[in-house]
Structure 1
Amino acid sequence: MIPVDQTHFSKKYYIYVLRSRVDKTYYVGYTNNINRRIKEHNKGKHKYTKGHIPYEVVYSESFKIKKDAKERESYIKRYGNMARFLKNRVPPSKARD
């Protein structure tokens, strides 16, 4: 699991990529409280991610403007191949399956 650097989250909105430890499926979302949101996913409080817990954070970005975070989330979801997206953005030692 990639440690969540709290200094990175001093801004207001975040996009994040979770990967299921069970079946390696990915989930992309945005929030204004990343730690709370990840805990909710891992407690099964969200319909889409409920059947794939536990999750780990494999990527995140922060934004000052909500619209920017939502647009980035949409872009990442449209990207199509999450493993390739992550490989291009995360150091190899942290992008392993």
Structure 2
Amino acid sequence: MFYTYAISSLERNYIYVGITSNTERRLNEHNSGKNKTTRPYRPFELIFEKDFQTRAEARIEEIKLKSGFGKEFLRSLIQNQKKQHTKD
């Protein structure tokens, strides 16, 4: 099983999209600074996760999410989460 995932920086306007076989482990790696690309943007929260049978399928979804439309979709998820928190 492979997962396409997106994480959002809690302190900066930054979204990272990737593929993994273990989302929890990968999020911990990002938050602990093991990934050079995301290190300056820590900490992160998981905002999107979708599972696939093959890495190729997950890669197709990753490419979609990295497109302009995909980034717009992810930003809308963040906005909806913020609205949910303000209602509580």
| TM-score where L is the length of structure 1 | 0.74
Aligned pair partner of 2:40 in 28, 41, 51: 51
Percent pairwise identity: 30
SS in 1 for 2:36: coil
Q: Contact conserved, 2:5 with 2:19, CA < 8 A, in 1? A: yes
Q: Contact conserved, 1:58 with 1:95, CA < 8 A, in 2? A: no
Q: What is the aligned-residue RMSD (CA, Å)? A: 2.0
Shift, 1:95, TM fit: 5.8
**Cα-to-partner distance string for 1:46-78 (whole Å, 9 max, x where unaligned):** 011000000001111111111000111012112
Q: Contact conserved, 2:47 with 2:78, CA < 8 A, in 1? A: no
| TM-score where L is the length of structure 2 | 0.81
How many pairs are equivalent?
A: 82
* Structure 1 alignment gaps of length 5 or more: 1-11
Shift, 1:92, TM fit: 6.1
